[in-house]
Chains A and B, each alone.
Chain A
Amino acid sequence: DAGITQSPRHKVTETGTPVTLRCHQTENHRYMYWYRQDPGHGLRLIHYSYGVKDTDKGEVSDGYSVSRSKTEDFLLTLESATSSQTSVYFCAIRAGTASTDTQYFGPGTRLTVL
């Protein structure tokens, strides 16, 4: 499972409230990613990090911010949650050698915004 945990695993919140999702890894990987999964869209990249304090936007970054103050933790924040952000959120890490370079995923967080 590449030592990736996500918390919380489920969350229900109300429109307009701030929400922070946490991704934690135990194997010191440099690259970490946040994706969202919605029906009909597969997974789409929100933000990613290529080191401590180094982050960049993905395809669907509007309404989201991220932070990475230490290697093992990558936080995703919804400053003011909206119903369109109801989704399943996956964290991933990049691991492997040049011949096995692959992303491995955490178990996901189901977020419902009412």
Chain B
Amino acid sequence: AQTVTQSQPEMSVQEAETVTLSCTYDTSESDYYLFWYKQPPSRQMILVIRQEAYKQQNATENRFSVNFQKAAKSFSLKISDSQLGDAAMYFCAYGRGAQKLVFGQGTRLTINP
């Protein structure tokens, strides 16, 4: 079975600085998708970024980018120019297409003003 591990339960960063959240996963498949979701205090799950495993190019969405290392089964999220509104729980997820997502345990990100 696939597993997703987020080894940093909590992270903090100064406002305007850059932070990287780590995620590793285990799979024997070659074709899959990876996601980062953000969960602010409102509890709503919000898609941050999506990566297709067959694409070598790292996905980017404004201040959010990923470092996808397929051979190492690593999928880290970099947040540049951190803002107070970025404070949230961040979840890494694995799926075959968007079916039956497997989530990591989450990383709580705090932004210090």
**A residues whose Cβ falls under 8 Å from a Cβ of B:** 1, 31, 33, 40-45, 48, 58-59, 88, 90, 92, 94-96, 99-105, 107-108
Contacts and interface: CB of A to CB of B under 8 A. Distances in A.
Interface of B: 4, 6, 33, 35, 37, 43-45, 47, 50, 52, 91, 93, 95, 97-106
In terms of DSSP, what is the predominant structure of the interface of chain A? Answer: strand
Contacts of B98: 31, 94-96, 101-103
Nearest to B33: A101
24 contacts: A31-B98, A31-B99, A33-B101, A40-B105, A41-B105, A42-B6, A42-B91, A42-B105, A43-B45, A44-B103, A45-B101, A45-B102, A58-B100, A90-B45, A94-B99, A96-B98, A101-B33, A102-B35, A102-B50, A103-B95, A103-B101, A104-B47, A105-B44, A105-B45
Contacts, number: 57
A77 B47 CA distance: 27
